[in-house]
Structure 1
Amino acid sequence: MTTTQFNRRNFLSASAALAGGAMAGSALLPGAANAAPAAARDKVRLGLIGTGMRGQVLLAELVRRDDVEVVALCDIEPIMLKHALGQVEKAGKPRPRTYGEDRDQKAYKRMLDAGGLDGVIIATPWEFHAPMAIAAMQAKIPVGCEVVAGITLQDHWDVLNTQLKTGTPYMLLENVCYRRDVMAALQMVRAGLFGELLHLQGGYQHDLRAVKFNSGNPAKPYGGGVEFGEKGWSEAHWRTQHSVERNGELYPSHGIGPCAMYTNINRGNRFTRINAFATKARGLHDYIVKQPGGAQHANAKVKFKLGDIVTTTLACENGETIILQHDTSLPRPYSLGFRVQGTDGLWMDLNNSIHIEGVSKPHQWDDFKAYQDKYDHPVWRKYAAQAEGAGHGGMDFFVIHAFVEALKANAPMPIDIYDAVTWSAITPLSEQSIAANFQTLDFPDFTGGQWKSRKPIFALDGKY
């Protein structure tokens, strides 16, 4: 799904929202107050809002499952909707209802109002996630939402309070939590291999210049030009505008999701303080002017606000620190930059190495492969064959599998509403910190104190 205009409320209103979520502290569990018990089921009927490049990847996972019936598709870009219908047809599944051919921005509401859905997956541009999730939860339709729960801090309180009021399940579809080495490291953390955790790092370090700019040709969504916005296609149509208007950690969940699971955030631990720093912005302008004809293109005059590298630091209640880095505007290989360090050793994914005191030779790295094999998570041991060929090295299979299985079992979502808003709120808080000359801010407690008694539930066994 695309948008022709990026209307964003001023993020400076976030400071007022720090105190605006008092309602959230009243619930004992996510949505417990009004959640109606439901029986387990063998199959679920799902709708998909957003059939663009990301939506089609998720759709591929849905249509190959026998326990999912895709009954509705919604997108306001007819080309993408047609592609999605082709995926369903090729899989030999019944044709779903479609919404949005008329380019009506509210087509998703018609889909929700039509009913007949056991859940909905939202894979639209970021600015639509909060209103669409809120509308679905108000319609009592469980939500699996792609990463970025909202834009402003108030968006996050609104999504949370809607979930608590309606009791409708909500899961953030953060796939990196299911990366094979990340899950093996989780097993190591839980086994105490690193000792007491002290410091973690992660981030989104990915050259997205050919994602943020293209020629506008629907057949070539990546690179080949310097267009974005009205003349861009796919993510260049909407995502690049965030780099024009915003300066912060725009995509935190890939890095913070695993780090939060390692440190039991919202389940015995919480973020307490946050600050962020940003470099000057050079990368996107340089990319434009180096392309054929780019120096004379109108976009060469665009002033990008997003610093090329944004570094965010978080302090935790239990004494750990976490550093995130957002680096998407410069030439570089892909890396999420994970580092998990405790009193007895550390793992770093960049060099695929580990060091454990008393096991490793002093001052030397060991290859991670033997450790990953030993601590391979049960879900990977069980489902690796089924995940073969799935998007992002199999991660997309696992995140969809978790959502579907939890939905079928009427079980708590493994990445729940508190995880979603806590991880995603890093973005508006980092924006606020940078705008205030890199000020350190208090991090809001979205759980209302429940983090003290909540217990870890993510990937505790081989189910999902």
Structure 2
Amino acid sequence: MDSNRRDFLKKASLLSGVAISLPSINQDAFGAAPRFNMSGYAAPKIDKVRVAVIGLGMRGPGAVDRLSYIDGAEIVALCDKHPERVAKAQKILTNKGLPEAKSYSGEDGWQALLKEMELDLVYICTPWSYHAPMSIAAMKAGAHAACEVPIGLTVKECWDVVKTSEETKKHCMMLENCCYDFFEMLTLNMVRQGMFGELVHAEGAYIHDLLELNFNKNGYDNMWRLRENIKMNGNLYPTHGIGPIAQCLNINRGDRMTHLVAMQSNDFMMADRARELAAEDSFYQQFVGKKYRGNMDTTLIKTEKGKTMMVQHDVTSPRPYSRIHLLSGTKGFAQKYPKEGIAFGHSFVKEEQLKELYEKYTPELIRFIGEKAKAVGGHGGMDFMMDWRLIDCLRNGLPLDQDVYDGASWSVIVPLSCESVAKNSRTVTIPDFTRGAWRSNKPHDLTLNGGGNTGIRPKISKDQKNQLKVD
């Protein structure tokens, strides 16, 4: 027996009976490559942003409507698997006197669109499984990508989106609209001004009773969202909750998330609902006997600087809607849901004081476009403010408020929470998609930062109806 084999057997015997900890798939194996830092990157100015909207089911029509109001944004292509949806979205444009966009449909229509059209921005509103492939293809085709949440469902997808953005120098913004809600932006500005001192802990959530919508035949196309609740067992929709608090904690811009643990209840509702529906309609028999995601997922996250975050997900329980949005600092506290409140001690400030804080700390972006955003709509105006700001940044050559690292790090909570739940709430490492650049990346600017040259058309007809959709 040679000495190398003897050494190997000797070492192996020492490890006998010892649990060997192998690196999880979430480690940086996919990220060890030269790159260009997209944080703070300002792409060349685009005078008129040629936009294609892909996915015209739940979210897409509202995006078409909102974008149609923004000067400098021209919707040049519309695409959906179902041609009747494309035709319906065309009417949103023609009813406003705007020209029809080029139509694409069918399972592979989006690929033909990217091959044939010269585009500046691809706006993606499709089911989750398409998000990463479409974002990557859009950037490789020479366009910036704006994609609904989450931007990827696996760690590898998140890495691939990041690497493609760096290689192409094309923006990839995840459309996290909750970062543009009014209280969230107010508290972010207050954090920037030091009003809460050093933030220590933050909480976010997506608690929204979607049980009946998920089981509705006429809801999500081919019941895709219900199927995702069967395939994955974790926090499937973390970005609404984590996006605003991650910005407050300067995640990827001075701090980073290092690890998480996720604990989840069993399912006490979805399997029962499937059986109830199947007893009345054989269509639902396909969903009987499946193992569904648990009702409530609670994910705890720690940052490099020792801050903590809690993110919850529950879309089945009969309880009031809540995204929580809680900030706890050394000098103050803020909380949204069930109502907005700010405190600098044991008690919340009174309504009059809260109004004064709004007057003093409302960011410039809201002062400039907030009332018009409310008039156009989209979850109270935050959707339109997000879209307007995106176009404004592209037209004026400004860095985006949310870059590809934000999209990847907020989305990767989906697979990592599933991994932790599967391992009986074991700790899981969160990749550093910035590869160390978080130490020097600067927090995004809350001012218009030289923008403001774009705006919506000045008149909105009185009968304009907001195209709000449940997401």
Report the TM range for the smaller structure's normalisation. 0.7 to 0.9
1:27 paired with 2:56, answer: no
Where does residue 369 of structure 2 map in the other structure? 383
Note closer, same or farther for the CA distance 1:31–1:326 as it changes in structure 2 (3 Å cut).
closer
Q: Is the 8 A contact 1:288 1:294 kept in 2?
A: no
1:398 paired with 2:400, answer: no
- Between 117-126 and 410-419, the greater mean CA deviation after superposition: 410-419
Deviation string, structure 1 residues 23-55 (Cα, Å, up to 9, x no partner): 35x3351299xx9963x3432111111111201
Unpaired runs of 5+ residues, structure 1, are 1-12, 222-233
Report the alpha carbon displacement of residue 437 of structure 1 after superposing the two structures with TM.
1.1
Q: Using the alignment, how far apart are the partners of 1:261 and 1:340 within structure 2?
A: 11
Q: What is the correspondence of 1:357-372 to structure 2 with a 5 Å cutoff?
A: 357=344, 362-363=346-347, 366-367=350-351, 368-372=354-358
1:90 paired with 2:95, answer: yes
1:253 paired with 2:255, answer: no
Note closer, same or farther for the CA distance 1:288–1:342 as it changes in structure 2 (3 Å cut).
same
Where does residue 9 of structure 1 map in the other structure? none
1:191 paired with 2:193, answer: yes
User: Residue 27 of structure 2 is aligned with which of 18, 36, 50?
Assistant: 18
Where does residue 441 of structure 1 map in the other structure? 428
Where does residue 8 of structure 1 map in the other structure? none
1:415 paired with 2:407, answer: no
Q: What is the correspondence of 1:279-358 to structure 2 with a 5 Å cutoff?
A: 279-288=265-274, 293-294=279-280, 298=285, 301-357=288-344
Q: Alignment partner of 1:47: what SS?
A: strand
Q: Using the alignment, how far apart are the partners of 1:317 and 1:88 within structure 2?
A: 48
Report the alpha carbon displacement of residue 68 of structure 1 after superposing the two structures with TM.
1.3
% identical equivalent positions:
36
Amino acid at match of 1:257: G
Name the larger-Rg structure: 2
Q: Alignment partner of 1:16: what SS?
A: coil
Deviation string, structure 1 residues 101-142 (Cα, Å, up to 9, x no partner): xx2x22111111113211110110000011111111111111
Q: Is the 8 A contact 1:270 1:317 kept in 2?
A: yes
Q: Using the alignment, how far apart are the partners of 1:414 and 1:271 within structure 2?
A: 19
Note closer, same or farther for the CA distance 1:280–1:120 as it changes in structure 2 (3 Å cut).
same
Q: Using the alignment, how far apart are the partners of 2:72 and 2:239 within structure 1?
A: 28
Q: Is the 8 A contact 1:148 1:424 kept in 2?
A: yes
Deviation string, structure 1 residues 351-402 (Cα, Å, up to 9, x no partner): 4353533xx6x44564444433432222111112321231100011111112
What is the RMSD computed on CA atoms of the aligned residues? 2.4
Q: Alignment partner of 1:341: what SS?
A: strand
TM-score for both structures, normalised by structure 2:
0.85
Amino acid at match of 2:118: G
Q: Alignment partner of 1:53: what SS?
A: coil
Q: Alignment partner of 2:59: what SS?
A: helix
Amino acid at match of 1:445: D
Where does residue 266 of structure 1 map in the other structure? 252
Q: Is the 8 A contact 2:39 2:405 kept in 1?
A: no
Where does residue 214 of structure 1 map in the other structure? 216
Q: Alignment partner of 1:308: what SS?
A: coil
Where does residue 142 of structure 2 map in the other structure? 140
Q: Is the 8 A contact 1:31 1:169 kept in 2?
A: no
Note closer, same or farther for the CA distance 1:235–1:372 as it changes in structure 2 (3 Å cut).
farther
Where does residue 4 of structure 1 map in the other structure? none
Q: Alignment partner of 2:24: what SS?
A: helix
Q: Using the alignment, how far apart are the partners of 1:96 and 1:14 within structure 2?
A: 48
Amino acid at match of 1:64: Y
Q: Alignment partner of 1:15: what SS?
A: coil
User: Residue 158 of structure 1 is aligned with which of 157, 160, 165?
Assistant: 160
Where does residue 79 of structure 1 map in the other structure? 84
Q: Is the 8 A contact 2:196 2:328 kept in 1?
A: yes
Q: Is the 8 A contact 1:185 1:372 kept in 2?
A: no
Unpaired runs of 5+ residues, structure 2, are 1-21, 453-471
Q: Alignment partner of 1:79: what SS?
A: helix
1:56 paired with 2:64, answer: no
